[in-house]
Amino acid sequence: MKKLYDILDISPDITLETLQRARMAALTLIKWLLCSLFTGSFIGLIGALFYKALQYVTSFRTEHPYTLFFLPAAGIIIVLMYHFTHEDKNTGTNLVITAIQSNAEVPVRVAPLIIISTLLTHLCGGSAGREGAALQVGGSLGNLIAKILHFDDKDTRIMIMCGMSACFSALFGTPIAAAIFSMEVISVGVMYYAALVPCIISALIASGVAGLFNITPTKFIISEICELSISTGIRFMIMSVIFALASIVFCYMLHSSAKIYAEYINNPYIRIIVAGVLVIILRYITGTTDYLGAGAPMIAASFISSCAWYVFILKMLFTAITLGGGFKGGEIVPTLFVGATLGSFLAPVFGLPIGLCAACGMVSVFCGVTNCPLTSFILSIEMFGSGSMKFVIICVAISYMLSGYYSLYNSQKIVYSKYKTEYINRHSH
């Protein structure tokens, strides 16, 4: 044996260290596989049931338009619930991001609160998405599992990301994007690769659990894809600049609306009543229900025919009024709405295929408001297929660069500059 060590030029100490590392890696893999299996199954089930509930309330609202008039009352219930559970200052998804950054706890009561609040918002026609609930439910339940298993702070962070991946995947049917998003959104420029295995496995399992409930993945068909040439490339580059500007405007509107409400209306009950009344008034001014709820039908329609120039602007306005006033939900589905309809409007302007422009707009605006280019690219492949990759990557890259340090989430950290290879470690705005 000694001769073999000599031949291979390996010392016994190094060999022992290698074996110890291999043992540690194997045990870590087994630990996270088991945790991911449970997390993906449990949180995937919760996510699937929540999705079904969202489908039901959305269908009920569509069949019974009068539910819109109950939006102010729903707002009062939401404020009351958060008050009596001592979550008055709950910052939503920012809470989950902060928990991962600073080892803070995501209380388990956040899960039922955000589920009920989001359902009430959608039932009565508030303009909001569902991913806010997905990230908060997944984060709080992931934190709970870590607590039960007596994990340390570092492993708790991974479990929170694992839970986020699972719930996001169950609701959207995009498991790879869900996993990468949970690792990428926390700190721009840094990926939490230690969470890669648990996030991927839990997201895939959650997606499978959702499939058992006949929840189909979110997909869109692009009927026509043009050739990538210098001419089309330049046109897509110009459009991506517009997408970046739209993401900045949307972030600014969402943050400004919350500040305006808080400045002029101190009472949270009156604030949310006013928000509900404004949504009702806007619905009748516009003469359509297209901007209520998540707006999935309009997103699908934008891939088929070109949208009017004001559609994406109105969705921004409806969403800012709804969420800024205190209603609960998510910003990402409205973001997809804004991006898709903007791209759809720009398609005939630039002489490009409507579906392709809607797809590029959707993921580019998403990238601009979340600062997650890798997630955006993967999301496009899961939702549209690989045919649009070359156009998507151009738009996503430029949108990421030009969107600056704006973000949906104020707690998101920009660790590395978008413009230089330098460490800046600043919060987004």
- Among 277, 337, 344, 377, CA closest to 130: 337
Q: How far is CA 222 from the centre of its chain?
A: 22
**Per-residue model confidence (pLDDT) at position 99:** 87
pTM of the predicted protein model: 0.94
Q: 228 pLDDT exceeds 70?
A: yes
Percent of the chain whose pLDDT exceeds 90: 83
Confidence of residue 425 (pLDDT cuts 50, 70, 90): confident
| Dihedral angle sign, alpha carbons of residues 125, 127, 132, 134 | positive
Alpha carbon distance 263, 160 (integer Å): 34
Q: 12 pLDDT exceeds 80?
A: no
SS3 416: strand
Q: 39 pLDDT exceeds 80?
A: yes
Residue 7, burial from CB neighbour count under 10 angstroms (0-12, 13-18, 19+)? exposed
Q: Give the largest Cα separation in the chain, rounded.
A: 88
Alpha carbon distance 267, 243 (integer Å): 36
Residue 389, burial from CB neighbour count under 10 angstroms (0-12, 13-18, 19+)? middle
Q: 195 pLDDT exceeds 60?
A: yes
CA distances from 362 to 7, 144, 234 (A): 59, 34, 19
Q: 369 pLDDT exceeds 70?
A: yes
Please compute the mean of the pLDDT values over residues 132-146 and round it to a whole number. 93
Percent of the chain whose pLDDT exceeds 70: 97
**Per-residue model confidence (pLDDT) at position 132:** 81
- Among 387, 412, 380, 354, CA closest to 403: 412
- Among 202, 200, 206, CA closest to 177: 200
**pLDDT, tens only, 63-97:** 999 999 999 999 999 999 999 999 988 888 888 99
**pLDDT, tens only, 242-260:** 999 999 999 999 999 999 9
Alpha carbon distance 134, 43 (integer Å): 10
**Per-residue model confidence (pLDDT) at position 22:** 87
| Dihedral angle sign, alpha carbons of residues 362, 303, 297, 346 | positive
Please compute the mean of the pLDDT values over residues 397-410 and round it to a whole number. 95
Structural domains in the chain, sorted by start? 19-212 (1.10.3080.10), 230-427 (1.10.3080.10)
**pLDDT, tens only, 319-337:** 999 999 999 998 999 999 9
Q: Are 340 and 362 in contact (CB under 8 A)?
A: yes
Q: Angle at which helices 12-63 and 110-123 pack, to 10 degrees?
A: 30
**Least-confidence region, from 8-22, 183-197, 361-375, 400-414:** 8-22
Q: 7 pLDDT exceeds 50?
A: yes
DSSP letter at 307?
A: P
Comparison of pLDDT for 19 and 340, the residue scoring more: 340
Q: Angle at which helices 175-184 and 373-384 pack, to 10 degrees?
A: 170
Alpha carbon distance 263, 271 (integer Å): 10
Pairing state between β 187-188 and 423-427: unpaired
Give the per-residue SS3 of 48-109.
HHHHHHHHHHHHHHHHCHHHHHHHHHHHHHHHHHHHHCCCCCCCCHHHHHHHHHHCCCCCCC
**Per-residue model confidence (pLDDT) at position 6:** 59
Confidence of residue 4 (pLDDT cuts 50, 70, 90): low
Please compute the mean of the pLDDT values over residues 407-424 and round it to a whole number. 91
Please provide the average confidence, as pLDDT, over all residues in the chain. Answer: 93
Comparison of pLDDT for 5 and 58, the residue scoring more: 58
Please compute the mean of the pLDDT values over residues 12-31 and round it to a whole number. 82
Please compute the mean of the pLDDT values over residues 350-373 and round it to a whole number. 97
Q: 1 pLDDT exceeds 50?
A: no
